[in-house]
Amino acid sequence: MAYLARSKKEDLVVLAEELGLTVKQELKVKQLHKLITESPSYDEEFTRELLDSIKEEREKKKNNVKKKRGRQKNNVKTKRGRKKNNVKKKRERKKKNVNESEPELLNNRNLNWKSELQAHSPLNLGIYLINLLKSECTM
């Protein structure tokens, strides 16, 4: 009977149902213990074996749930890692394209506009750009 005292309530409820007893959820562990031991179908060896199998099933289910959650977490982590890698690759490609295209533009137009813009103050920048556009339009 000590094996019943060391059991969880959920296991005792399943055991009582397996023995054909009607169980209310309001029953406490002591009441379940008394209900099982006083039932006409109570056999100590049989109930011990049945309770052990109930515990094993519950633990298997618990382990399966843990494994499933672990797999889901790993899947989420790998997806996040892939997304981060894709974003990094896209940024690198953009930087590479910008760095490669900038000298081509300068060479094609024969303008050294970058150094000229850096030399001007922010107040004169607008005037300089307007003059630059005017000169481009007249060419």
| 3-class secondary structure, 72 | helix
User: In a structure prediction context, what are the per-residue pLDDT tens digits for the chain, which is 139 residues long?
Assistant: 677 778 888 888 888 888 888 888 888 888 888 888 888 888 888 888 988 999 999 999 999 998 888 888 777 767 666 666 777 777 777 776 655 555 554 555 555 555 555 565 666 777 778 888 888 776 6
- What the block records as the tokens of 25 is 């959820």
d(CA 21, CA 12): 11
Residues written for the chain? 139
pTM above 0.75, yes or no: no
d(CA 96, CA 111): 22
For residue 117, give the nearest of 135, 131, 129, 103 by alpha carbon: 129
